[in-house]
Amino acid sequence: MAEVLRLQPNFSTVEYTRKSVFLEHADDRKLLREGLTKAGLPA
């Protein structure tokens, strides 16, 4: 996680799932976002 934040200090799980991940179902995006947040990335 530190490497992600070092490379992208303004990283946001919300923006990542909205822009970079093409998941068809909203529930899948929410689950991914929750996992990334639990892993220590900022919401």
| 17 band by pLDDT with thresholds 50, 70 and 90 | confident
**Domain range enclosing 25:** 2-38
Q: Is residue 25 part of a domain?
A: yes
pLDDT of residue 32: 92
Q: Is residue 12 part of a domain?
A: yes
How many structural domains does the chain have?
A: 1
Contact 11, 37 (CB under 8 A): no
Q: Is residue 34 part of a domain?
A: yes
Q: Is residue 13 part of a domain?
A: yes
Give first-to-last CA distance, the chain, whole Å: 13
Predicted TM-score (pTM) of this structure: 0.77
Q: Is residue 43 part of a domain?
A: no
**Whole-number Å distance between alpha carbons of 40 and 43:** 9
Token pair 């976002």 is at which residue?
33
Q: Is residue 20 part of a domain?
A: yes
On the question of pLDDT at 21 being above 80, the answer is no
**Whole-number Å distance between alpha carbons of 28 and 4:** 21
On the question of pLDDT at 20 being above 80, the answer is no
